[in-house]
A and B are shown apart, each in its own frame.
Chain A
């Protein structure tokens, strides 16, 4: 059974930093690209970032480019999102999602349950 379990969400002050983690199991992690997708309270879904199966390619939404960094450790079956210079508008539930392909830019067949990031003073 595929499982994606996010962690690391907390309340952080504007301008602060945070690292989210996603632990994957139930599939061959290094065969697939992975994504972060977020959802602000009461709002729709927003794609945040993509990393290819080997970490060789990464892509970001314009709203987070230059502030967020996606990475993965295939030896630990783990995905990460380093979030710097956080803003109030980054407040959201952050989902880890599995792509159906190796290079990414497809669709998501499995999602975690999300971890909540709140940016507030």
Chain B
């Protein structure tokens, strides 16, 4: 199975900060990567697919980049609604795998 490693596991930031989360794959997954946001007690919400495509309705302050084995999710200016846990997910193979998550906390 392809292992997905996210860093950092926790990130403390302030409203207005630029935030970057990294996701690394144990082997090349081309651009077959999605990002989700999850708030406490809620289901995950799709943000980004195919590494850099923004899902409809997602604010443009979210962006994704990368290919191969290294990917990033960037929030250009952190808003109060963005404090949540973020997960990457690879879909290069039928055995889908998620990263361990990055919790974005208020500084």
Contacts and interface: CB of A to CB of B under 8 A. Distances in A.
B43 A107 contact: no
A85 B66 CA distance: 41
A62 B95 CA distance: 9
B55 interface: yes
A111 B96 contact: no
Interface size class, chain B = 20 to 34
A104 B96 CA distance: 10
A112 B97 CA distance: 19
Interface residues of A, number: 21
B73 interface: no
A46 interface: yes
A61 B99 CA distance: 15
Interface of A: 35, 44-47, 50, 59, 61-62, 95, 100, 104-109, 111-114
